[in-house]
Amino acid sequence: MASDIKQLSAHWRTNYRAVQEMSARKWNPEKERIFVAFNANIDTVHKLSEKNLENVIEKSGAKKRISSEKNPPKKIASKEDFLANLVYTIKTSSAREIACQDNETAKWADKCFPPKEERTGGQTGIMANYLAGLGIDVIAYTPLLSEKQASFFDAQVKYPLVKNSKFATVAIKRASNSEHTKINRIFEFKKGFKLGSTTSCRANRFILASRPKGTEPYFSKELEAHIPKMFQGVNRVILSGYQSEKACNLAHFRKEKMQIKKIKKSNPKLMIHLEEAFISDKGLEKDIVEYIAKNVDSIGMNEVEVRQIASCVLQKRVLEKYPKNSLEGLYILGAAIAKKLGLQRAHIHYLGFYLAIVNKKYPIQPEKVRDALLYASLAAEARAQKGTLPTRKDIFAQKLNNISEKGIQEIMALQKSLHLCEGFLTTGICEMDDHYLIAVPTIISKHPKTTVGMGDVISSSAFAGELL
């Protein structure tokens, strides 16, 4: 077994090296144009220390409630709500994002845990900057664009607008349209972070989100009229930010669905991807599934988001059948989700492995999809080590000495349990009934410098990497 793992690890290193060679090629901006929308904000990053957090909890006078909350509130209206959510996130070591309804609590959190830096945040903001940095032609749309927000974008990113009744794109840095900036506060903790009797089993973060008006994930009426022009020459679209909607706001959801259909109609060849997010309100997740996810081609999820969607579209017994976060469990759930929603492609990222499920009609060969997953892992690892957005150079130079053993073991276990072809162990590809199952072990850091935005780098690399 151990030698199998060693051999397989060497094999995957070769696969990774081949992708690195390929990653050195320059993107062709004439051919590769990606449109990203809708959520961009500024993230303030707060690194947690054990002692400081303990002190703050002690002083809060509500230590008992904060430390024992099993189901922390899904909205934050007080310091205690915030601390209960933060502690729960550390205990479960899983990513969480909750909206803050009380400005005083947000200000108090800043005082207790002063921010270390400000960065581009929001899935759209992060993906736009990352993809543009790779040399891809990127158009990014976010409805609320203050001067400060605009200044955080890469100079190459373009912004769509209507000028004298005509559609145009301009440098996003010169396109500000509002005085309001959306700020999210990110509280990051390391692997091994100790709090009382618990220790976090991986590095992760809690996001105290803001929900200012004017950030709704759709195009203005003016831009909507220019959708055919706006999506001319675009090969891929990545949509995100629906977590800021309210459940049952059907007027918005109908409009969003109609706009997605218009985009698809204007250019049937382009692929539309939805990047999922942490959503605590099941009603909202149901609306996103019904109006958005069912109308796109592709979806990107982490392990938490898989269960979020699965709990809306699958029966409970399917959800409970497999151990949480095993490759087999995530594959079964991912394939069932893709089928239920009529998606051509779904990818899932988890610590140690990534997988993709692509319909046989998907226009990209499974080998390309696999290579794009490897590309995503190289980029994610470069991000984890540097803490900033990776460049083409970083991806090319990424060291390959930490291929996840756990990932390889999961691939071996899946091959055995589903009686997949032997070749799956080294190619990561297996032909199933109406789809290909693709799984790769990832490269992992023991101590990532940052975790926020990791999913965005992974998903946009995996989706855009198919064009390399």
Which residues here bind ligand GLC, judged by CB under 6 A? 39, 41, 43, 97, 121-123, 126, 184, 207, 209, 277, 452-453, 455-456
Smallest gap from residue 178 Cβ to ligand GLC (A): 18
Phi, psi (degrees; rounded to nearest 5) at 146: -80, 170
Residues with Cβ within 8 Å of residue 114, at least 6 apart in sequence: 46
Smallest gap from residue 453 Cβ to ligand GLC (A): 5
Smallest gap from residue 279 Cβ to ligand GLC (A): 11
What is the DSSP track for 271-282? EEEEE------H
Smallest gap from residue 364 Cβ to ligand GLC (A): 25
Q: Which is closer to ligand GLC, CB of 149 or CB of 415?
A: 149
Nearest position to ligand GLC, beta carbon: 121
Q: Where are the beta strands (DSSP E) in 95-176?
A: 96-99, 117-121, 137-141, 158-163, 166-171
Q: Which is closer to ligand GLC, CB of 97 or CB of 137?
A: 97
> Is the distance from CB of 450 to CB of 387 less than 8 angstroms?
yes
Smallest gap from residue 168 Cβ to ligand GLC (A): 27
Count the neighbouring beta carbons within 10 Å of the beta carbon of residue 343.
Answer: 23
Structure tokens at 48: 């947690």
Phi, psi (degrees; rounded to nearest 5) at 37: -155, 150
Q: Which is closer to ligand GLC, CB of 152 or CB of 253?
A: 152
Cα 280 to its chain centre, rounded Å, is 16
Q: Which is closer to ligand GLC, CB of 184 or CB of 295?
A: 184
Q: Which is closer to ligand GLC, CB of 123 or CB of 156?
A: 123
Distance CA 40, CA 239 (A): 12
Smallest gap from residue 137 Cβ to ligand GLC (A): 22
Q: Which is closer to ligand GLC, CB of 426 or CB of 445?
A: 445
Residues with Cβ within 8 Å of residue 69, at least 6 apart in sequence: 84, 87, 88
> Is the distance from CB of 26 to CB of 133 less than 8 angstroms?
no
